[in-house]
């Protein structure tokens, strides 16, 4: 029987360095799949359609919900974000591991639908560093900046809903830690129900 792939949820506030970390994780683990979300947020400079996000109008997003194409969706800082169903389902069924970079409400929904999913929360090395990183990004107006800082604080208080936490001070160390988590999860007895049969014990 085909072993199911891991569904890995990674969350962390803006400024935790989560996106850079996941980009590097992708480079070092080319076999890992990454979900591409749909969003109504306008693209930032350097963001590519279909790579960073599928950029949608509110009507297009509503149509995706109506057609049942999203596993979960949420409103975050006045924009809609959602996880397309097809890639996630295909990966899990075909034994490939897939990573979802989503916020805390999305994680809550995913855990309900896929209780076997693994969740990792990324923290910045310090709160001051988080503020500095968001300000440096420069893509925010002072109003959206304040909103993101408030949201970041609220999100960090959801830490206890997650399985694992990583403090992202050193990117290479953080990558190693994520890989250790993925390896440990794959070795759980509950994920290896056919192992005795596989080794030839009848």
Site residues (vs ligand 5GP, CB under 6 A): 14, 37, 41, 72, 74, 76, 81-83, 101-103, 105-106
- For residue 81, the minimal CB distance to ligand 5GP (Å) is 4
46: left (phi over 0), alpha (psi -120 to 50) or beta: left
For ligand 5GP, the closer CB: 103 or 185: 103
Helical axes 18-28 vs 171-186, angle rounded to 10°: 60
The nearer residue to ligand 5GP, 160 or 201, going by C-beta atoms, is 160
Which has the closest alpha carbon to 168: 128, 119, 125, 104? 125
CB of 2 to ligand 5GP, least distance (A): 26
Q: Which is nearer to ligand 5GP, 89 or 198 (CB)?
A: 89
**Cβ 39 vs Cβ 21: under 8 Å:** no
Nearer to ligand 5GP, 59 or 78 (CB): 78
Least separation in angstroms between residue 26's CB and ligand 5GP is: 15
Q: How far is the CB of 113 from ligand 5GP (least distance, A)?
A: 12
Give the CB-nearest residue to ligand 5GP. Answer: 106
Residues in a beta bridge with 99: 8, 34
Beta carbons of 35 and 117 less than 8 angstroms apart: no
The DSSP letter of residue 190 is: G
């Amino acid at each position: 029987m085909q072993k199911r792939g891991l569904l890995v949820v990674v969350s962390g506030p803006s400024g935790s360095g989560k996106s850079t970390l996941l980009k590097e994780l992708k480079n070092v683990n080319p076999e890992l799949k990454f979900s591409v979300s749909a969003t109504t947020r306008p693209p930032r400079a350097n963001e590519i359609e279909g790579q960073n996000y599928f950029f949608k109008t509110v009507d297009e997003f509503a149509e995706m919900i109506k057609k049942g194409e999203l596993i979960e969706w949420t409103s975050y800082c006045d924009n809609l974000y959602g996880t397309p169903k097809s890639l996630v389902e295909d990966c899990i069924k075909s034994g490939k591991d897939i990573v979802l970079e989503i916020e805390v409400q999305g994680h809550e929904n995913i855990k309900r639908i896929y209780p076997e999913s693994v969740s990792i929360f990324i923290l910045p090395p310090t709160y001051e560093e988080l503020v500095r990183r968001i300000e440096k990004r420069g893509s925010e107006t002072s109003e959206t900046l304040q909103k993101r800082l408030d949201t970041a604080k609220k999100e960090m208080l959801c830490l206890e809903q997650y399985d694992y936490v990583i403090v992202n001070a050193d990117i290479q160390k953080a990558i190693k830690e994520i890989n250790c988590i993925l390896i440990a999860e794959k070795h759980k007895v509950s994920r290896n129900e056919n192992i005795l049969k596989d080794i030839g014990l009848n």
